[in-house]
Amino acid sequence: MQKTIHFRDLGMIDYQEAWDLQEELFDRILQIKKDRAGPGEYRETPNHLLFCEHPHVYTLGKSGSLNNLLAGNRTLEEKGVRFYRINRGGDITYHGPGQIVGYPVLDLENFGLGMKKYIALLEASVIATLKEFSVEGGRLEGATGVWLDTDDPLRARKICAVGVRSSRYVTMHGFAFNVNTDLSFYNHINPCGFTDKGVTSMEKELGGRVDLSTVKARLKDNLMRLLQKGGA
């Protein structure tokens, strides 16, 4: 099993460009796995972890409802927001500056993980990172992602969304972690399909901007550590 993970910070990158790169890496891993099913020399599958930020964009997962996009084309144009229907699970979410978007393109068989455990691992890496900044994150029953005040349904708010695509245990897409995110952009969607839950960011919770590069470094370390360990 190949547990080496190739990390790249793509910085600020157009959503379509990052999506195309993911698809390329994803297809390459799938092809290796398909080739292994036949005769020939055994080849290990690579693993990739991409971090980035995106210009303002809303993305709608394959099981999501367009009704959760509350803005019309004119509003999107005025605010400079792109919109994409994409091939991950989940509903609608927002990506923008000040948010860490993580795209692990992995062969989960290299880490002995199934999808349920993998999702939990992504959440655990964000929860561990938040704890290092004295923010208590957790999971909300019946919902993916990382939330705050999960014991109080009226105050529960999401700080990190999770949505993935997988085939033959190969993953793409991933998570969107609000650090210094402009939360006003969430006013134009029902985030992840919820109409009764709020969103937040580290900046809002801590009362000031947070150094994005520091959060990225801590998050990368926590995610790599949990993957090498094989679970949360």
Q: Which residues are catalytic?
A: 192
Percent composition of the chain: helix, strand, coil (DSSP 3-state, to 5) = 35, 30, 35
Compute the distance between CA of residue 128 and CA of residue 135 in angstroms, rounded to an integer.
9
Is the dihedral angle over the CA atoms 151, 154, 155, 159 positive or is it negative? Answer: positive
SS3 15: helix
Q: What are phi and psi of 64, to 5 degrees?
A: -85, 165
| Number of Cβ atoms within 10 Å of the Cβ of 207 | 6
Single-letter code of the amino acid located at 115 = M
